[in-house]
């Protein structure tokens, strides 16, 4: 359970970091794609 919560928290922080970067730098497609890939990886585990 702790591992699940840790991964969930990490995914959320990565997503918000990517969203913040996208907002700050304009349309940063690469950062957005990386966040999506990380989210997909997390779901697959």
Domain count, the chain: 1
pLDDT tens digit string along 6-32?
887 777 777 777 666 555 544 455 666
Helix (H) or strand (E) holding 21: helix 2-25
The residues, any chain, with a CB within 8 Å of residue 15's CB and separated by 6 or more, are: 35, 39
pLDDT reading at 45 higher than 70: no
In this prediction, residue 39 has a pLDDT band, given cuts at 50, 70 and 90, of confident
In this prediction, residue 3 has a pLDDT band, given cuts at 50, 70 and 90, of confident
What pLDDT score does 16 carry? 72
Domain that holds residue 29: 2-44
């Amino acid at each position: 359970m702790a591992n699940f919560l840790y991964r969930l928290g990490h995914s959320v922080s990565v997503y918000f970091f990517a969203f913040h970067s996208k907002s700050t730098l304009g349309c940063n497609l690469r950062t957005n794609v990386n966040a999506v890939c990380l989210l997909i990886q997390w779901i697959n585990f």
